[in-house]
Amino acid sequence: MSCEQDVTFKGHHSMSDYNNGYARPTVADMSVDAGLRSFMLGVYNKMGLGLLLAGGLAWTVGNVPQLAQLLFQDLGARGIGYTPLGMVVAFAPLAVLLASRFLMRNMTVVSSAALYWVVVSLVGLSLGVLFVVYAGTLIYTALLVTAVAFGGLSLYGYATKRDLSPFGSFLVMAVFGLVASSVALFFLPPAVYNSPIIFFGFNIIGVLVFSGMIAWKTQELKMMYYQLGGNSASTAIVTNIGALSLFISFVNLFQVILALMGGRRN
């Protein structure tokens, strides 16, 4: 699940405007560097708290039988899937993100924070299926691998002097392609749906795409900080939206890494 968010600030350009050309500062003095570090630390801290909340909700839903039965069911040859209520919860984050594009044209600090925590909570509930499908030790191992990979990729996006923005449109289209492919595969015969070759290829592509998203989004946030010119309200909003974007990329990367590592219970 992923969605690119276009947020308009009062008195500022929209987030999509920043993608068209970054105003890289010619002189990065110590005060600017300190401000950038503080901004990025705020993004990472919020994202980390979101991962803790999502992980706690996922563990609770996956390990409390009464909750698991409400959201997940055995689909036979297709493995464990969602109940009708589970489908609503699983697709709710995407619906919330799409609705926010139309209902929150001028985001505030409060509304962007509310959007972040609502989406994080919904994603956490839907991720409870992982504790039904996979062994706990495998989940924690995949989480550690993802955290290390995320750290390296985000550091690259932060430090590289190469402009990653040309890859942005391609990565967004690739994400939509992966989502469309996963939906289409579900309606194909189980022999095709469970094909090891398709499974492996799909998840390898997912690793590449979401790895690229993490590096690109990190650089985008870095350049956006300079564009905001120190406006505290806009910086707080971008902190929330940036944390949400990185959170979604982290979760997607984690899921494809976990799938590649295997070890299904069912």
Least confident of 9-18, 60-69, 83-92, 144-153: 9-18
The answer to the question of residue 96 being in a domain is: yes
User: Taking the model in full, what pTM does it have?
Assistant: 0.82
pLDDT digits (tens, 9 = 90+) for 27-51: 444 445 778 889 999 999 999 999 9
Report the domain count for the chain: 1
Those residues with Cβ within 8 angstroms of residue 3's Cβ, 6 or more apart along the chain or in another chain:
94, 97, 98, 248
Looking at per-residue pLDDT, the higher value among 26 and 176 belongs to 176
Predicted pLDDT of residue 190: 66
For residues 35 and 230, the answer to whether their CB atoms sit within 8 Å is yes
Average pLDDT over the chain, rounded to whole?
A: 82
Question: Residue 76 gets which letter from DSSP?
Answer: G
Give SS3 for 108.
coil
Domain that holds residue 71: 28-261
For residues 24 and 226, the answer to whether their CB atoms sit within 8 Å is yes
pLDDT digits (tens, 9 = 90+) for 91-140: 899 899 888 887 767 788 999 999 999 999 999 999 999 998 888 889 99
- From 13, 19, 18, 263, select the one nearest 141 (Cα to Cα): 263
C-alpha 174, offset from chain centre: 14
Measured over all CA atoms, what is the biggest interatomic distance in the chain, rounded to whole angstroms? 61
The answer to the question of residue 106 being in a domain is: yes
Helix residue ranges, H only, the chain: 15-18, 30-63, 65-71, 84-103, 109-126, 129-133, 136-159, 168-186, 190-193, 196-228, 232-261
The answer to the question of residue 162 being in a domain is: yes
The answer to the question of residue 124 being in a domain is: yes
Give SS3 for 127.
coil
